[in-house]
Homo-oligomer: A and B are copies of this chain.
């Protein structure tokens, strides 16, 4: 086998570990926590089906690439809840993870994946904004359908949920209206405290 192919196969085997990284959110039927591979697949499906709600016309291929790779860094860094106060520690560990794991690939692909991941993290391009909106929307929907299971488990208040997730509107004002309604219903039903 050629060196290039050996590197590609090593990467493909390494990323299998993402199936062991469990998130704070639970599946829609509340049976267990979701892992990063399942989550990333669900974002792919959401990108395909919901692309028309992006504020700006997006390159779907680029969004798919981003959501496919966006959590690879968690193989090394682990999963931090989006409401974490440890943002600096999270960023440092994830950057180290990106360098190690994407570094397994041949140089051209390593650069492409690293750049895609940085673009996703920066949330500045229209594709990154839409991908980030989906990344926020899926756990919101899961919480809504599990009587706020993850928010209750982690003692997250309604105002914090609204504050952290309002970035969804940068990618899609339409999806943010939908998300806001779900959060407010959870507060109104007394599933989570407002503040």
Question: Footprint of B on A, CB under 8 Å?
Answer: 1, 5, 8-9, 11-13, 15-20, 27-29, 31, 34-35, 37-38, 40-42, 44-46, 48-50, 53, 60-61, 64-65, 68-69, 105, 109, 141, 145, 174, 178
Q: Are A64 and B44 in contact (CB-based, < 8 A)?
A: yes
Looking at chain A's contact residues, the main secondary structure is helix
Q: Are A12 and B49 in contact (CB-based, < 8 A)?
A: yes
Q: Which of B1, B44, B65 contacts A41 (CB 8 A)?
A: B44
- Copy number in this complex? 2
Task: Output the least CB separation between A192 and chain B (Å).
Answer: 21
Task: Output the least CB separation between A63 and chain B (Å).
Answer: 10
A37 contact set on B, CB distance < 8 A: 37-38, 41-42
Alpha-carbon gap, A47 to B182, bound state (A): 35
Q: Are A28 and B49 in contact (CB-based, < 8 A)?
A: no
Q: Are A12 and B46 in contact (CB-based, < 8 A)?
A: yes
Q: Which of B5, B45, B64 contacts A12 (CB 8 A)?
A: B45
- Nearest B residue (CB) for A64: B64
- Nearest B residue (CB) for A43: B41
